[in-house]
Structure 1
Amino acid sequence: MADGTKIEWTDATVNAVNGCTVLSPGCKRCYAMRQAHRFEARRGLTQHTAGGMVWTGEVRLNEKALLQPLAWKRPRRIFWNAHGDLFHENVPDAWIDKVFAVCALTPQHQHQILTKRSARMRAYLSDPRMPQRVALVCFDMNRAGLVKFSALFAALGDRERDEDAEFVPIPLANVWLGVSVEDQRRADDRIPDLLATPGAVRFLSVEPLLGPVDLDIFPVFGPSRERLLHWVIVGGESGHGARPMHPAWVRSLRDQCADADVPFFFKQWGEWLPWEPGCPPEWQSQSGLREDHHALFPDDIDADPKWDDGIWAVPDHDHFAFQRVGKKAAGRMLDGATHDGMPA
Structure 2
Amino acid sequence: MDSLTQIVLGAAVGEAVLGNKVGNKAMLYGAIAGTIPDLDVLASHFTDTVTALSMHRGFTHSIVFSVVFAPILGWLVSRYEKYKDIKGWSWLFFWAFVTHPILDSYTTWGTQLFWPFDLRLAFKTIFVVDPLYTVPFLVFLILAMRQKRTASKRSFYNKMGLIVSSSYLVVTCFLKWAAYSQFQEALATQNIDYIQMDTRPAALNTILWNANVEVEDAYLLADYSFLDSQPISFESYPKNHQLLGELIHDESVQSMIHNSENWYTITKKEDQLYFNDLRFGLLSTEPQSQDFVFQYLIEVNDSGKVEFTEVKGERNPQKLLSQLWTRLKGN
More helix per residue: 2
- TM-score with structure 1 setting the length: 0.28
